[in-house]
Amino acid sequence: MEDAAILIAPHGAAGPLRGLVERLAASGVTTTVVDELPAAVDISAGYEAPPCVLLDLREASGGEIEDTRLASQAIRRAITALPDTTPIAVVSGGNPALILACIRAGAGDVIDLQLEGTAPARTIIARISEQQRDRSVEASLLASQRSMIEELLRDLIRTERRSIDAEDKLAAQARRATGEYTAFTAETRAPAVLLVEHDRDVADELADLLEAAGIATFAYVTGEEAVREAQTLATSTGLDLALVAAQLPGIDGLETIRRLRDRVAGLPAFLMTTVIEADLAASAADLGVVGFVQKPLADLDDVVERLAQLARESLGRTREQAYVHRIKERHERVLARYRSLPRVP
């Protein structure tokens, strides 16, 4: 395969640089000269294999500390913009400090126009080109392998979900046939809301409407009682959403939500309040409260519909997590092998 190169020369290819380009062309290296990095990126995209990138750093050849720093920055910018390439620095009479800085910054090699003729320059380009082609082939094979494994994993997940659903249904049928207690799981249970409201009439009305909408509802009039029962409910029947009044006897609504989330991690919570003050809103946001319900409840149907939808969405996320957890348990060895594959840059 014929080697190709892109020369980034801010001031154009003249003098010794023009001579290098012509000698490389005579030895079979096609060199495109550009004056800035973005142009090199555009041209490089048209090549099947990444071309060599030569950086004209002759302005930094004096070897001053600042010049050395600028040369290193230019090389790092080229590597960032063209991650599939290893830049070659082009200098003129560069001192050891400059050459060392270029190599440390990531240059594959250095061509000194005062010291090296055509053969050494051609050898450097051939070596870097081969390294880049090898990396390109390796990355392509790795990407293909990851893509194939990811497709297999997607098929596996779809199959496993059907298998898990079938197993749960058969197990539930067997328990019912023998009269055994049937435990609720994320796959089989209805969405569930924990309601904390000190006004028993309001709590009962909301609970009845939520139940009628297919949402299991557990209502309490104090935060202490709700917190005490929350973990048991989460374990036995599941909880997907908490609706808590801001004003409660004993611990208030914010403290109730904080304690609830200590027992049921990630439980989405709504706060019911008459007035949404700035301090209350800020404290609620710090707790991760997802929204407010304004009291008095003027449109109960709208409130119930909103809460029911959020509870269903929360249960949906819980179901997905349950699927993922069970699938991971069954296929940990396959997933471990997949995770061990290097990431394609």
Residue in the block written with tokens 């409130």: 303
Is beta strand 241-245 parallel, antiparallel or unpaired with respect to 216-220? Answer: unpaired
Encoded tokens for 313: 């969405």
CATH among 3.90.1300.10, 3.40.50.2300, 3.30.1330.10, 3.40.50.300 for 192-330: 3.40.50.2300
Cβ neighbourhood burial of 197 (10 Å; 0-12, 13-18, 19+): buried
The answer to whether 4-138 and 192-330 have equal CATH topology is: yes
Encoded tokens for 9: 């020369």
Domain ranges for the chain: 4-138, 141-180, 192-330
Residue 294's beta-bridge partner residues? 273
In angstroms, the Cα distances linking 280 to 261, 265, 274 are: 18, 22, 11
**Pure H helices in the chain:** 16-26, 37-44, 65-81, 96-105, 118-178, 200-212, 223-236, 253-263, 278-287, 300-330, 332-340
- Residue pair 153/338 in contact (Cβ under 8 Å)? The answer is yes
What values do phi and psi take at 53, rounded to 5?
-120, 120
R_g of the chain, CA atoms, integer Å: 34
Cβ partners under 8 Å of residue 238, min gap 6: 184, 186, 189, 192, 315, 318
Quick one: CA dihedral 310, 316, 320, 322, positive or negative? positive
Q: What CATH number has the domain spanning 4-138?
A: 3.40.50.2300
pLDDT by position in tens, the chain (length 345): 578 999 999 888 888 889 889 988 988 898 999 999 999 999 999 988 889 999 998 876 555 555 888 889 999 999 999 998 999 999 887 688 888 999 999 999 999 888 766 678 889 999 999 999 888 888 888 888 778 877 877 777 777 777 766 766 666 666 566 655 444 555 567 888 999 999 898 889 889 999 998 899 999 999 999 999 888 888 777 888 899 998 899 999 999 999 998 888 888 888 888 877 788 888 888 888 888 888 877 778 888 888 888 888 888 887 777 767 777 776 776 667 667 766 655
Taking phi first (over 0 means left), then psi (-120 to 50 degrees means alpha), and beta for anything else, what does residue 12 get? Answer: left
- Residue pair 128/111 in contact (Cβ under 8 Å)? The answer is no
